[in-house]
Amino acid sequence: MLDGIHEIVVATRNRKKVDEIARMLDGTGIKLLTLDEAGECPEVVEDAPDFRGNALKKAREISSCTQRAALADDSGLVVDALGGSPGVFSARYAGPEATDLDNYSKLLRELEGVPTGKRGARFVCCLALVLPDGEEFVFDGVCEGVIAEKKMGQSGFGYDPVFIPEGHERSFAEMSPQEKDSMSHRGRAIRAFAEFLLDG
């Protein structure tokens, strides 16, 4: 499926993200390069209205700048009682310089008084792969759950301390990274991508 492609540039400077994807792609024979390893590229502005649009925009611009296959992701939290917010604005929900604490505290405030049955939410991850010839592939991952009444747990990042995945009573921040990966939106999208590589 990916004839002649042995290296893929991941459109992020976050080494942890690349390592996480590399762990799950083990055995596929694909080597991942960070943006810093692939050359100088201008910063991509994430201004699309949805996760898919942002992931494709990043992958297209990085593929065209590096002349290589590029993989980009976009992810966030979609809360039913807030009409889908924070969505693509998850990283900056409480403002442009917001910390994780600022963001999930704002979310808990917005949901004050909302009963358990109406606190449904999902994490969404969209992974886009763009090849040098312009061919495009998209892999989605979703993890359904509810927003907790208060912060639970210390690990993870972002909204992990307030997100309880469906079928569980612990938040993502109370799980090991492996347990979270086994059900998370990002884990699901990366596994779909790995299956695509192996099927090829």
Options 31-39, 68-76, 132-140, 145-153: segment touching ligand IMP (CB under 6 A): 68-76
* Catalytic residue, candidates 3, 47, 74, 199: 74
Inter-residue contact 161 to 147 (CB < 8 Å): no
Residue 74, interface with ligand IMP (CB under 6 A)? yes
Query: Residue 74 catalytic?
Result: yes
Residues 86-105 contacting ligand IMP, CB under 6 A:
90-91, 103
Query: How many CB atoms neighbour CB 169 within 10 A?
Result: 9
Question: From the list 184, 188, 190, 193, which residue makes contact with ligand IMP (rule: CB under 6 A)?
Answer: 184
d(CA 112, CA 106): 10
Helix axes 15-24 and 185-199, enclosed angle (nearest 10): 50
Residue 174, interface with ligand IMP (CB under 6 A)? no
Residues in the chain: 200
Inter-residue contact 191 to 181 (CB < 8 Å): no
| Cβ closest to ligand IMP, residue 25 vs residue 128 | 128
Residues 127-166 contacting ligand IMP, CB under 6 A:
156-160
d(CA 154, CA 160): 9
Nearest-approach distance from CB 78 to ligand IMP, in angstroms: 10
| Cβ closest to ligand IMP, residue 101 vs residue 198 | 101
Task: Cite the active site residues.
Answer: 74
